[in-house]
Amino acid sequence: MTKYVSLPPDSDIETFFVHMNKQEVILSENLEKSLQTATDKNKYDKLFILTDECTHRLCLPLVQPFGFLSDAEHIVIGATDTHKTLETLAHVWKSLGDKEATRHSLMINLGGGMVTDLGGFAASTFKRGIAYINIPTTLLAMVDASVGGKTGINFNGLKNEIGVFSPARSVLIDTDFLRTLDYQNLASGYAEMIKHGLISTTDHWGELLNFDLQQTDYKALQTLVAKSVKIKEDIVEQDPLEHGIRKALNLGHTVGHAFESLALEENRPHLHGYAVAWGMVCELYLANLKCGFPTDKMRQTIRFIRETYGNFHFDCKHYDRLYKFMTHDKKNTSGIINFTLLGEVGDIRINQSATRQEIDEMFDFYRETML
């Protein structure tokens, strides 16, 4: 028998989607208590914890003593984005099946963006969907990957080509995990925070550029993480299915994903945040050219990126390949490459296009500026 649910008065279907699927994001001061509360909200028959080889070794010991996790089944996958594949996804599905998961089971994804993306997709599709909780352990996952309901895997040489919108029941952010990170992974997540600064306010952008990542003040970083998560939450709540303003979160990603895809193809993979940072150099050039983004702010941001992330090396022989990768971007419409650009910090211009000549000039600018 079909059960019909009425929309709230004066609402549309997307507003209703937000109402039914709003993700609970908790900045936790006591992870054991927060996770106990989150699991208690989900009546489950079996509990699973997904980790990769790194988080199984470094992060699982921080939660394993929690008594309510004593009966949890463990699934371990390979680390890094090279394992964000259909084969790894199938391994998780098979493990869930072999360990007798049902549609009433609950999965905890303990890891970085690769674990939360792939784990969220596995949970959302196993038996047409089981509940899951994200515990991000990297800065990138805290401020970006684990929040907002995007899940997926890489496929056919393309980033996040297959996936679904499916929010976690809860996202528990405990910045103590950041102490387990090396500098490269900390910097990778910080690139997404720079992006959030650029799409929010000049004050927030400025404090991010002035923060000393080399001598990390973790208490100050916790405050910046909270601001960054709030910026993303507010945008996702306005546009959960990425029809409009949520595309603001793609600043730097059109080119950044192309850099990532080229790097994977040439067997020289880079962390996602580094690719996004390099992508922002390119897209701030286009923003300056097409939308009047201030040259001084462009230069300040690029200087920070060059000093923090170094350079992605490519030459003019790669332009066609990079352009081809960009034509596969999910934001494109009718074969037109769409960029998110800025007229000023916080002045977001979605669905911006550029000619092939302008794109080649953008690559020229990158190579000249980032030397």
The three state secondary structure string of 224-280 is HHHHHHHHHHHHHHHCCCCCCHHHHHHCCHHHHHHHHHHHHHCCCCCCHHHHHHHHH
Domain boundary pick from 181, 211, 245: 181
Task: Indicate whether 128 belongs to any domain.
Answer: yes
Query: Residue 306 and residue 296: Cα distance in Å, rounded?
Result: 15
Same domain, residue pair 171 and 257:
no
pLDDT band of 16, cuts 50, 70, 90: very low
pLDDT in tens, 331-363: 888 889 999 999 999 999 999 999 999 999 999
Q: What is the DSSP secondary-structure string of 162-210? A: E--B---SEEEE-GGGGGG--HHHHHHHHHHHHHHHHTS-HHHHHHHHT
Same domain, residue pair 243 and 173:
no
* Residue linked to tokens 């907002």: 148
* CB neighbour list of residue 237: distance below 8 Å, 6 or more residues apart: 18, 22
The answer to whether residues 25 and 171 touch, using CB atoms and an 8 Å cutoff, is yes
Give 3-state DSSP helix, strand, coil % of the chain, rounded to 5.
Answer: 55, 15, 30
Task: Indicate whether 166 belongs to any domain.
Answer: yes
Give the model's pLDDT for residue 22.
65
pLDDT in tens, 18-72: 333 567 999 998 999 999 999 999 999 999 999 999 999 999 999 999 999 999 9
Same domain, residue pair 34 and 174:
yes
Task: Indicate whether 202 belongs to any domain.
Answer: no
Give the model's pLDDT for residue 18.
39
Provide the 8-state DSSP code for 349. Answer: E
Task: Indicate whether 228 belongs to any domain.
Answer: no
Task: Indicate whether 206 belongs to any domain.
Answer: no
Task: Indicate whether 81 belongs to any domain.
Answer: yes
- Percent pLDDT > 90 in the chain is 87
Taking CA atoms, 215 is separated from 136, 212, 220, in Å, by 22, 6, 11
Element (H, E) at 76: strand 73-77
Q: Are strands 106-111 and 131-136 parallel, antiparallel or unpaired?
A: parallel
Task: Indicate whether 172 belongs to any domain.
Answer: yes
At 50, which CATH number? 3.40.50.1970
Give the model's pLDDT for residue 96.
98
Is pLDDT at 112 greater than 60 in this prediction?
A: yes
pTM of this structure:
0.88
What's the domain count of the chain?
Answer: 2
Domain boundary pick from 181, 215, 249: 181
The letter for the amino acid at 356 is R
The 10 Å CB-count burial string (b at 16+, else e) for 90-111 is ebbbebbeeeebeeebbbbbbb
Same domain, residue pair 248 and 171:
no
Give the model's pLDDT for residue 329.
87
Domain boundary pick from 145, 161, 181: 181
Tokens matching residue 234: 């507010």
Task: Indicate whether 207 belongs to any domain.
Answer: no
The answer to whether residues 79 and 110 touch, using CB atoms and an 8 Å cutoff, is no
At 318, which CATH number? 1.20.1090.10
pLDDT band of 12, cuts 50, 70, 90: very low
The answer to whether residues 271 and 185 touch, using CB atoms and an 8 Å cutoff, is yes
Parent domain of 281: 236-369
Using CB atoms within 10 Å of the CB of residue 237, give its burial: 0 to 12 exposed, 13 to 18 middle, 19+ buried: middle
Query: Residue 146 and residue 169: Cα distance in Å, rounded?
Result: 11
Query: Residue 330 and residue 345: Cα distance in Å, rounded?
Result: 24
Same domain, residue pair 172 and 244:
no
The letter for the amino acid at 361 is E
Nearest in space to 146 (alpha carbons), one of 179, 180, 177, 169: 169
Give the model's pLDDT for residue 14.
39
Same domain, residue pair 174 and 39:
yes
Per-chain mean pLDDT for the chain: 92
Report the residue count for the chain: 371
